[in-house]
Amino acid sequence: MQQSAFTKKLMHWNEVDNNRPMPWKGETDPYKIWLSEIILQQTQVKQGWGYYERFISNFPTVQDLAAAKDEAVFKLWEGLGYYNRCKNLLTSARFITKELNGKFPNTYDDIVGLKGVGPYTAAAIASFAFNLPYAVVDGNVFRVLARVFGIDTAIDSTKGKQQFTKLANKVLDTNQPGIYNQAIMDFGATMCKPFAPQCHICPLQSTCVGYQKGSVNLLPIKEKVLTKKSRWLYYFVIECGGKTLVHKRTANDIWQSLYEFYVLEANEQQDWTKTQVQQWFQQQLNVSDVALISVSPLQKQQLTHQLIKGQFISVKIDAIPKTLAHYEWVNNSDIHTLAFPKFINQYLETPTAQGQLF
DNA sequence: AATGCGGGGGT
DNA sequence: ACCCCAGCATT
């Protein structure tokens, strides 16, 4: 098949000007490629780099990952966000190990059937590990193609996804799909950047429709608007006999599979005086003897769709109250083996943020 | 088709 | 403040 001018120029740039090292570059082990791609979903290379190295070091093979304890894997993922990626990673590692005898699937259809693997990740694995001709379509590819070909179809619409996927596969270098896919993403990340693209030294300048029309900084188009909401989470860090009360989040909500302390969610800000804490414990847990240790200052955490605000109220009690469904008492020395959201780790790791002591 | 999921980094 | 990042699952 004849290559487009775009493809030729991109591949030439890749040969002479692309110097972007990454720990998984040139890797051919499908397990390692898969792991790197899951880590990199909606995550910048710089942020995922260290996580990849720690995962490979701890779990060199898919069998090692499949055999690991859930908590250990989540602890390693802690801080990376989008925790369902980690849950699906474990599900797929165990599926490959048990159902496929450890043999990683080697067709696009079988790869895309894995939990946590969608069109982008399947194309990446298929091309990098098996040299199959599937074009990746990620944020970089949307941006590069929208600008170079001057396409103003919204990339977050069904029509846009179809249009860009079709074009991406049309300009794919089918002789070396892996190298091409790596090249277009590197090009998007280093030259055709979201902000301050390097048009003045770009080898595609003369054929770039966006550059000719002066619309580079308007592309790509998105049509959906982000809505945000505020939540107040009040955490009671309850200690009793060297143990602390924790809960694994399971609800259809943020931080699924991570741990938290006893939580009270409110629709608005609340004050926590010593009297109010004592009243709350009496009403909620039927505990009357509460030693209030500290109340933290107001803490905030900005998520993509939510602004989390809240405080940490640390107390000690003498006797374990009535059984609390879905909560468990964990030895204080074991708390560090559990994965917590950043909102909670901020509190745990910053003693000075404990606030008012009682 | 629409919604929601984290945390880091840039402007 | 707002946007983006090697997207995906769910409804």
Residue A264 pLDDT exceeds 70: yes
Residues 68-97 of A with CB under 7 A from strand B: 79-84
Average pLDDT over residues A272-298: 93
pLDDT band at A227 (very low <50, low <70, confident <90, very high): confident
Residue boundaries of the structural domains of chain A: 5-218, 229-357
Q: Give me the residue label for tokens 């769709």.
A: A305
Q: What tokens does A76 get?
A: 């390693």
Task: List all nucleotides in chain C with at least one atom under 7 A from a protein Cβ.
Answer: 3-11
pLDDT at A198: 97
pLDDT, mean of residues A241-245:
96
Asked if residue A326 keeps its beta carbon closer than 7 A to nucleic acid strand B, the reply is no
Count, in order, helices (H) and strands (E) of chain A: 14, 8
The answer to whether residue A185 scores a pLDDT higher than 70 is yes
> Is the pLDDT at A1 greater than 60, yes or no?
no
Mean pLDDT for A73-98 is 98
Answer yes or no: is pLDDT of A351 > 80. Answer: no
Q: Label residue A321 by pLDDT band (50, 70, 90).
A: confident
High-pLDDT (> 90) share of chain A, %: 90
For this structure, is A37 an active site residue?
yes
* pLDDT value at residue A325: 84
pLDDT higher than threshold 70 for residue A300 = yes
pLDDT at residue A350, rounded to an integer: 76
Q: What is the mean pLDDT of residues A20-34?
A: 95
Instruction: Report which residue type is found at A93.
Output: A
A226 touches strand C (CB under 7 A): yes
Å: A44 CA to B8 C1':
8
Distance between CA A180 and CA A124 in Å, rounded?
Answer: 11
Instruction: Report the nearest residue to nucleotide C2, CA vs C1'.
Output: A226
What mean pLDDT do residues A196-212 have? 97
> Which of A183, A186, A210, A190 shows the shortest CA–CA distance to A8?
A183
Cα distance between residue A318 and residue A288, in whole Å: 10
- CB A250 within 7 Å, strand B: no
**Catalytic choice (A27, A37, A53, A71):** A37
**Residue A221 pLDDT > 80, yes or no?**
yes
CB count within 10 Å of CB A195 equals 5
The confidence score (pLDDT) of residue A217 equals 97
SS3 letters across A257-298? CCEEEEEEEECCCCCCCHHHHHHHHHHHHCCCCEEEEEECCC
A32, pLDDT greater than 90: yes
Share of chain A above pLDDT 70, in %: 98
Give the right CATH number for A229-357 from 3.40.50.2300, 3.90.79.10, 3.20.140.10, 3.40.50.150: 3.90.79.10
Count of CB atoms situated within 10 Å of the CB of A348: 14
Let me know: does A290 contact A315? Beta carbons within 8 Å.
Answer: yes
A225 vs A238, more confident: A238
For domain A5-218, the CATH superfamily is Hypothetical protein; domain 2 (1.10.340.30)
As a whole number, the mean pLDDT across chain A is 95
What is the b/e burial string over A214-244, where b = at least 16 CB atoms within 10 angstroms of the residue's CB?
ebbeebbbeeeeeeeeebbbbbbbbbbeebb
3-state DSSP helix/strand/coil percent for chain A, to nearest 5?
45, 15, 40
- What is the C-alpha separation between A264 and A275, in angstroms, rounded? 17
Tell me the C-alpha distance between A99 and A93, whole Å: 10
β-strands A229-240, A306-317 pairing: parallel
pLDDT band at A276 (very low <50, low <70, confident <90, very high): very high
Helices A30-39/A119-130 angle, 10° precision? 150
Helix axes A177-190, A139-148, angle to 10 degrees: 80
Residues with Cβ < 8 Å from A181, sequence gap 6 or more?
A: A123, A124, A127, A128, A135, A136, A172
Å: A44 CA to C4 C1':
9
